[in-house]
Structure 1
Amino acid sequence: MKNNHSLIIGGGIVGATLALKLAQAKRPVTLIDATPERDDKSWTEALSRRDARVYALSLASIDLLKEVGAWQNIQASGRKADYSQMQVWQLNGLGELLFGDNDNNDDESKAKPAAMLGSMVEPLVIEHALWQRLNDDDVSDYLTVIKGQKVVNMDWLGAQSGYKVSLESGESISANLLVGADGRGSFVRKHAAIELDTLDYQQTAICCAIQTSMPHLATARQAMLPTGTLALLPLADITEEDKANSQHWQSVVWTLPRNQALALLEEKPSYIAEQLAAASNYELGAINKIESIASFPLAAQQAKSYIADNLVLIGDAAHGVHPLAGQGLNLGMLDVKALFEQLEYDYKRSGNTLWGSAQTLRTYERLRRPHNSLMMHSFSLLNWLFAGELAQTRPIQQLRSEGMYRVSKIKPLMRLFAMQASGV
Structure 2
Amino acid sequence: MKNNHTLIIGGGIVGATLALKLAQDNKPVTLIDARPKRDEADWQQILGKRDARVYALSLASINLLEEVGAWQKIAASERKADYCQMQVWQLNGRGELLFGDSKDDDNSSDKSNQNLSPNLLGSMVEPVVIEYALWQRLTAPDVRQYLTVIDGQKVVDMDWLGATQGYRVTLDNDTVIDANLLVGADGRGSFVRKQAGIELDVLDYSQTAICCAIQTEKPHLATARQAMLPTGTLALLPLADITDEDKANPQHWQSIVWTLPRNQALALIEETPRYIADKLAAASHYELGAIQQIESIASFPLAAQQAKTYVADNLVLIGDAAHGVHPLAGQGLNLGMLDVKALSKQLAHDYNRSGGSLWGTNQTLRSYERLRRPHNSLMMHSFSALNWLFAGSLAQMRPIQQLRNEGMYRVGKIKPLMRLFAKQASGV
| Equivalent residue runs for 1:214-233 within 5 Å | 214-233=218-237
Return the alpha-carbon distance in structure 2 between the equivalents of residues 106 and 36 of structure 1: 50
State the partner residue of 1:140.
Answer: 144
State the partner residue of 1:183.
Answer: 187
| Post-superposition offset of 1:107 | 3.0
State the partner residue of 2:114.
Answer: none
Return the alpha-carbon distance in structure 2 between the equivalents of residues 104 and 204 of structure 1: 35
Decide whether the 8 Å contact of 1:178 with 1:311 is kept in 2: yes
Q: CA RMSD in A?
A: 1.0
Decide whether the 8 Å contact of 1:232 with 1:252 is kept in 2: yes
The 3 A distance-change label for structure 1 pair 182 and 296 is: same
Return the alpha-carbon distance in structure 2 between the equivalents of residues 343 and 79 of structure 1: 33
Work out whether 1:298 is the aligned partner of 2:297.
no
Q: Deviations over 1:207-226 (max 9, x none)?
A: 00000000000000000000
Q: Deviations over 1:202-242 (max 9, x none)?
A: 00000000000000000000000000000000000000000
State the partner residue of 1:340.
Answer: 344
Q: Secondary structure at the match of 2:286?
A: coil
Return the alpha-carbon distance in structure 2 between the equivalents of residues 105 and 129 of structure 1: 38
Work out whether 1:192 is the aligned partner of 2:191.
no
Choose which of 151, 154, 166 in structure 1 pairs with 2:155.
151
State the partner residue of 2:283.
Answer: 279
Decide whether the 8 Å contact of 1:47 with 1:124 is kept in 2: yes
TM-score by length of 2: 0.98
Q: Deviations over 1:382-405 (max 9, x none)?
A: 000000000000001001100000
State the partner residue of 1:72.
Answer: 72
Return the alpha-carbon distance in structure 1 between the equivalents of residues 43 and 28 of structure 2: 27
Return the alpha-carbon distance in structure 2 between the equivalents of residues 352 and 277 of structure 1: 59
Return the alpha-carbon distance in structure 1 between the equivalents of residues 81 and 123 of structure 2: 5
Q: Deviations over 1:32-89 (max 9, x none)?
A: 0100111111111100000000000000000000000000110111100000000000
State the partner residue of 1:39.
Answer: 39
| Equivalent residue runs for 1:331-370 within 5 Å | 331-370=335-374
Bigger drift between 279-288 and 71-80 goes to 71-80
Which amino acid in the other structure matches residue 2 of structure 2? K
Q: Secondary structure at the match of 1:4?
A: coil
State the partner residue of 1:9.
Answer: 9
Q: Which segments of 5 or more consecutive residues in structure 2 lack a partner in the other structure?
A: 112-116
Which amino acid in the other structure matches residue 124 of structure 1? V
Work out whether 1:251 is the aligned partner of 2:255.
yes
State the partner residue of 1:407.
Answer: 411
Which amino acid in the other structure matches residue 107 of structure 1? D
State the partner residue of 1:391.
Answer: 395
Work out whether 1:54 is the aligned partner of 2:54.
yes
Which amino acid in the other structure matches residue 115 of structure 1? N
Q: Secondary structure at the match of 2:42?
A: helix
Work out whether 1:417 is the aligned partner of 2:421.
yes
Q: Secondary structure at the match of 2:410?
A: helix
Q: Secondary structure at the match of 2:7?
A: strand
Which amino acid in the other structure matches residue 15 of structure 2? G
Aligned residues: 423
Return the alpha-carbon distance in structure 2 between the equivalents of residues 215 and 72 of structure 1: 26
Return the alpha-carbon distance in structure 2 between the equivalents of residues 138 and 207 of structure 1: 38
| Post-superposition offset of 1:358 | 0.5
Q: Secondary structure at the match of 2:182?
A: strand
Q: Deviations over 1:168-220 (max 9, x none)?
A: 00010000000000000000000000000000000000000000000000000
Return the alpha-carbon distance in structure 2 between the equivalents of residues 339 and 53 of structure 1: 27
Return the alpha-carbon distance in structure 1 between the equivalents of residues 425 and 242 of structure 2: 26
Q: Deviations over 1:257-281 (max 9, x none)?
A: 0000000011000000000000000
Decide whether the 8 Å contact of 1:104 with 1:411 is kept in 2: no
Percent identity of paired positions between Structure 1 and Structure 2? 80
Decide whether the 8 Å contact of 1:274 with 1:287 is kept in 2: yes
| Post-superposition offset of 1:296 | 0.3
Which amino acid in the other structure matches residue 51 of structure 1? D
Return the alpha-carbon distance in structure 1 between the equivalents of residues 172 and 104 of structure 2: 61
Which amino acid in the other structure matches residue 406 of structure 2? E
Choose which of 163, 172, 176 in structure 2 pairs with 1:172.
176
Return the alpha-carbon distance in structure 2 between the equivalents of residues 98 and 114 of structure 1: 17
Return the alpha-carbon distance in structure 2 between the equivalents of residues 221 and 104 of structure 1: 15
Return the alpha-carbon distance in structure 2 between the equivalents of residues 140 and 271 of structure 1: 51
Return the alpha-carbon distance in structure 2 between the equivalents of residues 263 and 148 of structure 1: 36
The 3 A distance-change label for structure 1 pair 109 and 249 is: closer
Which amino acid in the other structure matches residue 6 of structure 2? S
Return the alpha-carbon distance in structure 2 between the equivalents of residues 56 and 66 of structure 1: 16
| Post-superposition offset of 1:108 | 3.8
The 3 A distance-change label for structure 1 pair 188 and 106 is: closer
| Post-superposition offset of 1:357 | 0.4
Q: Deviations over 1:87-120 (max 9, x none)?
A: 00000200100000x3372534559966110000
Q: Which segments of 5 or more consecutive residues in structure 1 lack a partner in the other structure?
A: none
Return the alpha-carbon distance in structure 1 between the equivalents of residues 288 and 118 of structure 2: 21
State the partner residue of 1:235.
Answer: 239
Return the alpha-carbon distance in structure 1 between the equivalents of residues 34 and 323 of structure 2: 21
Return the alpha-carbon distance in structure 2 between the equivalents of residues 234 and 111 of structure 1: 17
The 3 A distance-change label for structure 1 pair 106 and 267 is: closer
The 3 A distance-change label for structure 1 pair 111 and 77 is: closer
| Equivalent residue runs for 1:91-110 within 5 Å | 91-100=91-100, 102-103=101-102, 105-109=104-108
